[in-house]
Structure 1
Amino acid sequence: MSLTRELANPHSPITRFLNAHLPGGAANDAYLKAARNLTRTIRPPEVRNVPWTTLGTAIDLRIRMWLGAQVHHGVKAGINHLRAPAGFVPATPGHAAKYTPHLNAAKAGEHLLQLLRRPGPRDPTPADEEHLARLAIVAARYEHIFRTAEIPLHHQRAVSHFTELRLGADPRYSLRRLTSEIPRTYAVDVCQQLDAAKKPLAALKGRPLTCGPLFAGSQDVGHAEGDFIAGGVLVDCKATITPAHYPRQSLAWLQQLAAYLLLDYPDHYRIHEVGLYLSRQGALISWPVPEFLSLLGARQSLPDLRRHLRVYLGTAFYRR
């Protein structure tokens, strides 16, 4: 069970704790006021069946790449799922015939990870940017396999629909085929969002970076993994065209940030600021931690909230 699914359940222990200790009304009002003042929205491609999840993950990955990330745990986990997908264990010739395409896709993914570990060009051309966007989209498709692992039907679809290409054993050629099948409109969309990110996130570039941070309390809610922390600033990326239309949704986003902050029980990441980055508006809405907690309605200090949450989740675990 992931933190997102736990927060969607009004009866889960983490939701009950946050509702009681950090109800968030003033924080949500502050976020909505800032979001409603944004005038720019990068529209997605005007095509049918836009892969919203894939493009949202892709821009998150592309921003991480731009910030200097070289390790992408979710992508690697998706590749590992392809390497040994459920039901495709090559114990017999028949199984091997079904398994080989997934193994070849996994080999292409390993080559992709090698490319992502290399520093990008210092002064990328538009062609370089489009190529990097295509790599990010393919990487997002691998990560989608990992993210759907707890939902069997979606996971099977993610594996079986990863690509319709008949990939060969050469990982370099296979990766070129995977990137070339990405519609150019999708790559341009990611490029536009990255370009919009460079100014609002400039202050984070060059700072110590942790991507996909796990927290001391992550296992207490099943799995909790943030987007990235740069120099003590915790950022969660949202690629939405309607950042201020759904107050319940934005409140859930703020509670997600609060959960990450509190689950860092020993203050390992020294988080001093938290924020939502709206990639289609090119805007970072953030607060220093004391102000964020005050807006959420906190009546206790951050160390006390962390300590009480740890005890509460531990007690809730034993009540299950």
Structure 2
Amino acid sequence: MSLTSELADPAGLLSRWCARVFTGTPLAARRVEEAVHGVHPVRPALARPPRQHWAQVGGAFGQRVADLVQAAPPYYALLGMLRAQWGGAAWAHDQAAAYPTHAGLPGEYRARALNIRPAATTWLDLGDGFPDIDPVPGAPLLWADFLARARRYQARHAPPGLLGEPGAEAGLARTAWVLSACEDIYRSGETDPRLGRVVDGGGTIDQLRALPGDEVVTELTGLARRLHERGVLWELRRLAGVPPEGTQLGIAGPTIVPGWADGDLLLGRIDPEAGIGDGTATLVDVKTVVTVRDPGRVARWLWQILLYAWLDTGDLYRIRDVGLLLARHGTLVCWPVDELAAELLGTADLVEHRRDEFRDLASGILRRAGLSLPES
């Protein structure tokens, strides 16, 4: 069970602890609602989209923003491919090693590239553990070609920090949707039947890219356009220290506690060899909801981004600010970590005490799951 699932269970130990100590949550949640007041969100083209539409678009746009931040391997999509037996362990590591972030690693690490992740000041080695399998015939080649084409397309039309022209963004949306569908296999163990039919049936890249309907692609390109129209792209670049165009803005999918807590975006001038440029970074969670009027849901978002920052006990990511990217509204809401903690607690006096209390609580949960907090 992840931190997200712990918070989603109202009867869970962690969820009950948050509800008890974060007495200032309603005021903080109101700030989020006020930030999007009067903004008309990007809505689906279909008047009544199917239930799975929301998660699929959310996952695909999360992948698109990850690519905007860093040209990194789609870690969880590759893990989904492994789970579906569409590739073996050595194959998956080879695919991860082909991405710009990992291409310069020494050979011994390239051979385990899928489990080597960048942090702000170092590289994380998540170990091994993928079994050898006989993959579905033809699947490894299909996915290798798909990923290679995606890397070339991204580098040409929308390198990190930049959005593409509308036509390019439509192409990127199709890629992101497919990768998100593979990630869903890793997260849930279930394969979208449409995706399974193409891959297991010896299909083509064109068939993979045709899986998201035109209305989904239109919606995803609208979300990308909203980043530009509302100035969020500039805000992301500013949080990254305004690097040169085409340069990464930070880390996509930072692994805060392996197997338990993975963030969406970490923004900052990051170089695992030399350290982070100005000593600080901003952890941002991406949300693709139409409304923020559900105080319980917004509360869980706020608890999660604060607890993610508190979980970085080794200060591997230098998280000093946290935020929510409300994608359909084109709005970014950020807080210094200690300021959000004081707001949620209703006082600044208890921040350190409650942080230590949470870490003790989290240590117990992790220990029972065979995990542990990160070290410096």
Which bracket does the TM-score occupy, shorter chain normalised? Answer: 0.7 to 0.9
User: Shift of the alpha carbon at 1:249?
Assistant: 1.0
**Larger CA deviation: 132-141 vs 158-167:** 158-167
Change (3 A) 1:277 1:125: closer
How far did residue 238 of structure 1 move? 0.9
CA distance in 2, matches of 1:147, 1:62: 18
Once residues 316 and 137 of structure 1 are traced to their aligned partners in structure 2, the CA distance between those partners, rounded to angstroms, is 33
Q: Which residue number corresponds to residue 121 of structure 1?
A: 157
The letter for the 1-side match of 2:309 is L
Q: Is the 8 A contact 1:64 1:211 kept in 2?
A: yes
State whether structure 2 residue 219 is matched by structure 1 residue 186. Answer: no
Question: What secondary structure does 1:229 align onto?
Answer: strand
CA shift for structure 1 position 306: 4.1
Deviations 1:52-80 (A, max 9, x none): 11111111111122233322211111111
CA distance in 2: counterparts of 1:304 and 1:266, whole angstroms = 18
TM-score of the two chains, using structure 2 as the length reference:
0.69
Measure, in 1, the Cα distance between the counterparts of 2:199 and 2:56.
Answer: 21
Contact 2:83-2:185 within 8 A present in 1 as well: yes
Equivalent position of 2:328 in the other structure = 280
2:145 to 111, 116, 119: 111
Does residue 57 of structure 1 match 2:91? Answer: no
Change (3 A) 1:112 1:255: farther
* Structure 2 residue 28 is matched with structure 1 residue 27: yes
Look up the SS of the partner of 1:204 in the other structure: helix
| Unmatched runs of 5 consecutive residues or more in structure 1 | 86-98, 150-154
Q: CA deviation at 1:116?
A: 4.2
Letter in 1 for 2:6: E
Contact 1:82 1:103 in 2 (8 A): no
Q: Are residue 214 (structure 1) and residue 248 (structure 2) matched?
A: no
Moved more, 108-117 or 127-136: 108-117
Q: 1:51 & 1:41 partners in 2: Cα distance? A: 16
From 256, 259, 262, the equivalent of 2:307 is 259
AA matched with 1:14:
L
Secondary structure of 2:334's match?
Answer: strand
- Distance in 2 between the 1:181 and 1:11 partners? 38
Residue 127 of structure 2 aligns with which residue? none
> CA separation of 1:167/1:286 partners in 2, compared to 1, >3 Å: closer, same or farther?
same
Match of 2:319 in 1: 271
**Equivalent residues of 1:82, 1:105 under 8 A apart:** no
Deviation at residue 191 of structure 1 after TM alignment: 0.6
1:201 is aligned, of 209, 233, 257, to 233
Change (3 A) 1:164 1:38: farther
Question: What does residue 310 of structure 1 align with?
Answer: 359
Instruction: Give the number of the structure with larger relative contact order, counting CA–CA contacts within 8 Å between residues 6 or more apart.
Output: 1
Query: Greater CA deviation, 234-243 or 158-167?
Result: 158-167
Residue 18 of structure 1, CA deviation: 2.5
Q: Relative to 1, partners in 2 of residues 1:214 and 1:252: Cα closer, same or farther, differing over 3 Å?
A: same
Determine which of 61, 67, 76 is the counterpart of 1:74. Answer: 76
Residue number in structure 2 paired with 1:13: 13
Q: TM-score, normalised by structure 1?
A: 0.79
What is the match of residue 233 of structure 1? 282
SS in 2 for 1:83: coil
Distance 1:2 1:243 in 2: 23
DSSP-derived class of the 1:236 partner = strand
1:39 matches 2:39: yes
Q: Is the aligned partner of 1:164 residue 2:197? A: yes
CA RMSD of aligned residues (A): 2.8
Which residue of the other structure, out of 164, 170, 173, is the alignment partner of 1:130?
Answer: 170
Contact 1:78 1:146 in 2 (8 A): yes
d(CA) in 1 for partners of 2:75 and 2:54?
21
1:250 counterpart residue number: 298
Does residue 1:142 correspond to 2:175, yes or no? no
Does structure 1 conserve the Cα–Cα contact (< 8 Å) formed by 2:72 and 2:252? no
Q: Alignment length, in residue pairs?
A: 290
Q: Is the contact between residue 35 and residue 331 of structure 2 (CA under 8 Å) also seen in structure 1? A: no
Letter in structure 2 aligned against 1:111: D
Q: Compared with structure 1, are the counterparts of its residues 317 and 208 closer, same or farther at alpha carbon in structure 2 (3 Å cutoff)?
A: closer
Relative distance call for 1:48 and 1:290 in structure 2 (3 A) is closer
Q: Which residue type is aligned with residue 148 of structure 1? A: S
Cα distance between partner residues in 2 of 1:312 and 1:62: 34
Q: Which amino acid aligns with 2:303?
A: Q
Return the offset for 1:305.
Answer: 4.3
Identity of aligned residues (%): 26
Q: Closer, same or farther in 2 for the Cα pair 1:48/1:121, shift >3 Å? A: closer
TM-superposed CA distance for 1:229, in Å, is: 0.7
66 and 183 in structure 1: CA distance in 2 versus 1, 3 angstrom threshold: same
Once the two structures are superposed, the pairs formed by residues 83-98 of structure 1 within 5 Å of their partners are: 83=85
